[in-house]
Amino acid sequence: MIDRSASDPVPIGRVVATEQKPATPHQFHFWTATETSVGIGAIVRVEGGGTGDGGRVVFGVVTDGFAYSDLASPLHDVIGAEGDPARAAGAPTARAEIRLWTAAVLRQMPEEPLQPVPLGDVHMASDADVALALRMDAYLHGARPTAIPVGLYTSGGLESPVYLDADFLVGPEAAHLNISGVSGLATKTSAVEFLLGALFQHFPPHRGKIAAVCFNVKGPDLLFLDHAGALEEEDRRRYARLRVDPVPFDRVRYYAPFKADGVNLNTLRSHGELVGAVEPLVWGLTEVLDFAEVLLNRDDIDAKADAFIDFLADRVVRRDFEDGFGGQHQVETFADLERLFRSIFDGLENAGRGDIWRTHHIATIRKVRNRLGNVSTRCKGLVTDDGPSSDLPWGRFEDRAVYVIDVANVDPLGQDLVFARIVSKLREHLERRDLGVDAVAVFVDELNKYAPADGAETYVKKMLLDISERGRYLGLVLFGAEQFRSQVHRRVVGNAATQVFGRMDADELATPGYQVLSPATKIKLATLPVGELMLRHPHFTQPIFVRFPRPPVLRGRDGVERYPPAQDLPFEDAVARQVTRLDPGVRPNQVKDLIAGREEADVRRALGAVRRERPADLLATLRRRLGGRVAPEAARERAAVPPLNPIPEEPY
């Protein structure tokens, strides 16, 4: 039974239907007094009507408005005022003016039989009406509610919370969210930050654990999610109404690659007080090799190179391998691999055995060597030639934690590699159900860069398509943001069950993707104030406008003002800081004394090893790892391996 106790008994309008403008099952027109609180986006309730329709209730959302007088043509008004606008105002009788509105049907009760909207009274919706109109009653109440607050519907003095259904946001019924709108005014990043907070607080307990992985691709955008931001009284009121606590995220883990020096982190969160919480992201050969396709498909998809990479991955890396010329190899790092390549080239040359090694043409081998060498050169700091890797805590993801991966300053090739590997690993672990959490929301800003509507089929694009199409079964959910939806691959945006729009660009609204919106709705979208959004969600049959509060976290821009990024530290200091972070009992000078006069590469390797091992006595282990002060063996060995200079490729 519908609770109408809170509804206003006095109608604000009445449905009209004419031969030209009849009411249909999905649209109707109504008139109101000229003074009315109805506006575009307002939700209304139609009741009653003629006999036989007494019990029918229809909810609609206003999509357009018109004002009329009884004039048949503007000419009559002009002649009546003798062509003088000043006299028109002084006419002895004011012309009757009406307000006519068009509304799209949100819900009919009962739903069957589906009939045209009756000519009934129109009322402004109450809180309960909004819940019914948007079909939120199904997931808002009951034994296992799945409602996630997303914003407030505000119209006619009402402030009703609007909820998304977690089953349709995170799966399994439907999934993914896409938000678009112009830079700065659409509040895309802010809206996602707010929504992630609301999702963490309201994700239903029976759905298990959830985490978020956010790629920071722009400046300091997402680097202060664990710090409180400035909120206004109005924001706090909205939080209270939505029953969301306005607190920053309490479990945020930051990851950033090193800069080319291998010891200073490549992030704007480098202020002395905060950089301690940033974990290095460093990958070696074994991590990168599986994603070699990312590197190859940029200019050519090549079955021969693919086959050779597969051969390396399956038969060579992490195995005892004999190169056919008497050399034994244990390939673990890029440097080991380079040694193998050298002995293959030398072996072929010395033996005069032509151009084929183990069925692979020398040109293919050179090409793969160059591509792989290219990664460790271009992504220096992310990809290490030797030395151990440092990675996300696969298998130990924590409930309600946010993992921020800062790739804002990484070369596009490195960014692709980071995306490809992290998303593929998430997928792999979620498939095996051993990630540590049951669902992950992956936030990708600037989606147009990674899944563009046109351009080559890159590995990253294929992967984003794959999540969009299959992620909901796994609990792998994409939260994507971009300025122009039309520039993102159709199937990536099309598969997002929840679509959010902030202030839109008028040119963008003229593209075919927005044809379903009424002209008035488009105008509202093009002039939307900050903090207001338009939502489409599977339960809502029409787009709905909501307001949301500022996110409870420090804006990136304010963060770098409050915590200015530190200058890069000299090598010794940067190492000392990393060690003291791992073990606060160690004094920086002890570390500096220990590493004084050592080869930087050796220090980086030793530091990587202690970072991975986390031994009880860190300083002693570091000393042992560094070995004797003079390491002639190592020095000679290094000298034998020339740097990874690209060798010109020969045509096949």
Ligand X SMILES: Nc1ncnc2c1ncn2[C@@H]1O[C@H](COP(=O)(O)OP(=O)(O)OP(=O)(O)O)[C@@H](O)[C@H]1O
Pairing of strands 498-501, 532-536: antiparallel
Considering the complex, state which of residue 528 and residue 603 has its C-beta at the smaller distance from ligand X.
Answer: 528
- 3 state SS of 99: strand
- 3 state SS of 148: strand
Instruction: Tell me the C-alpha distance between 4 and 126, whole Å.
Output: 8
Nearest-approach distance from CB 481 to Mg ion, in angstroms: 6
Nearest-approach distance from CB 307 to ligand X, in angstroms: 42
Nearest-approach distance from CB 152 to ligand X, in angstroms: 11
Q: Is 187 in the site for ligand X (CB under 6 A)?
A: yes
Query: Which one of the spans 88-96, 135-143, 408-416, 547-555 is the region binding ligand X (CB under 6 A)?
Result: 547-555
Considering the complex, state which of residue 187 and residue 343 has its C-beta at the smaller distance from ligand X.
Answer: 187
| Partner touching 41 among ligand X, Mg ion, none, CB below 5 to 8 Å by kind | none
What value does the CA radius of gyration of the chain take, rounded to a whole number of Å? 31
Q: Is 190 in the site for ligand X (CB under 6 A)?
A: yes
Nearest-approach distance from CB 261 to Mg ion, in angstroms: 30
Considering the complex, state which of residue 120 and residue 181 has its C-beta at the smaller distance from ligand X.
Answer: 181
Answer for the pair 435, 398: CB distance below 8 angstroms, yes or no: no
Q: Which of 433, 500, 424, 440 is nearest to 472 (CA)?
A: 440
Considering the complex, state which of residue 187 and residue 578 has its C-beta at the smaller distance from ligand X.
Answer: 187
Considering the complex, state which of residue 220 and residue 280 has its C-beta at the smaller distance from ligand X.
Answer: 220
Pairing of strands 252-256, 278-280: parallel
Instruction: Report the residue from 524, 550, 577, 605 that binds ligand X according to the rule CB under 6 A.
Output: 550
Instruction: Tell me the C-alpha distance between 451 and 296, whole Å.
Output: 18
> Taking the mean position of all CA atoms in its chain, how far away is CA 185?
18
Q: Going edge to edge, which strands form the sheet with 476-482?
A: 158-165, 147-155, 544-547, 532-536, 498-501, 177-180, 476-482, 439-444, 210-216, 402-406, 252-256, 278-280
Nearest-approach distance from CB 500 to ligand X, in angstroms: 11
Considering the complex, state which of residue 192 and residue 278 has its C-beta at the smaller distance from Mg ion.
Answer: 192
Query: Which residues contribute to the site for Mg ion (CB under 5 A)?
Result: 188-189
Instruction: Report the residue from 22, 54, 184, 395 that binds ligand X according to the rule CB under 6 A.
Output: 184
Q: Which of 356, 335, 332 is nearest to 344 (CA)?
A: 356
Answer for the pair 231, 552: CB distance below 8 angstroms, yes or no: yes
Nearest-approach distance from CB 218 to Mg ion, in angstroms: 6
Answer for the pair 492, 455: CB distance below 8 angstroms, yes or no: no
Nearest-approach distance from CB 140 to ligand X, in angstroms: 23
Residue showing the smallest CB distance to ligand X in the complex: 531
Considering the complex, state which of residue 57 and residue 214 has its C-beta at the smaller distance from Mg ion.
Answer: 214
Instruction: Return the amino acid letter for 186.
Output: A
Nearest-approach distance from CB 447 to Mg ion, in angstroms: 11
Q: Is 183 in the site for ligand X (CB under 6 A)?
A: yes
CA dihedral 320, 325, 326, 329 (to 10 degrees): -30
Considering the complex, state which of residue 188 and residue 539 has its C-beta at the smaller distance from Mg ion.
Answer: 188
Q: Tell me which residues in 198-217 interact with ligand X (CB under 6 A).
A: none
Nearest-approach distance from CB 431 to ligand X, in angstroms: 32
> Taking the mean position of all CA atoms in its chain, how far away is CA 401?
15
Phi-psi region of 186 (alpha: psi -120 to 50; beta: other; left: phi over 0): alpha
Instruction: Tell me the C-alpha distance between 570 and 581, whole Å.
Output: 17
Nearest-approach distance from CB 543 to ligand X, in angstroms: 18
Q: Is 531 in the site for ligand X (CB under 6 A)?
A: yes
- Between CA 257 and CA 411, with CA 426 as vertex, the angle to 5 degrees is 30
Instruction: Tell me the C-alpha distance between 467 and 175, whole Å.
Output: 10
Instruction: Report the residue from 189, 448, 499, 578 that binds ligand X according to the rule CB under 6 A.
Output: 189
Instruction: Tell me the C-alpha distance between 44 and 158, whole Å.
Output: 12
Answer for the pair 301, 309: CB distance below 8 angstroms, yes or no: no
Considering the complex, state which of residue 375 and residue 496 has its C-beta at the smaller distance from ligand X.
Answer: 496
Q: Is 483 in the site for ligand X (CB under 6 A)?
A: yes
User: How many residues line the site for ligand X (CB under 6 A)?
Assistant: 16
Considering the complex, state which of residue 483 and residue 542 has its C-beta at the smaller distance from ligand X.
Answer: 483
| Partner touching 511 among Mg ion, ligand X, none, CB below 5 to 8 Å by kind | none
Residue ranges binding ligand X (CB under 6 A): 181, 183-184, 186-190, 483, 502, 530-531, 548-550, 555
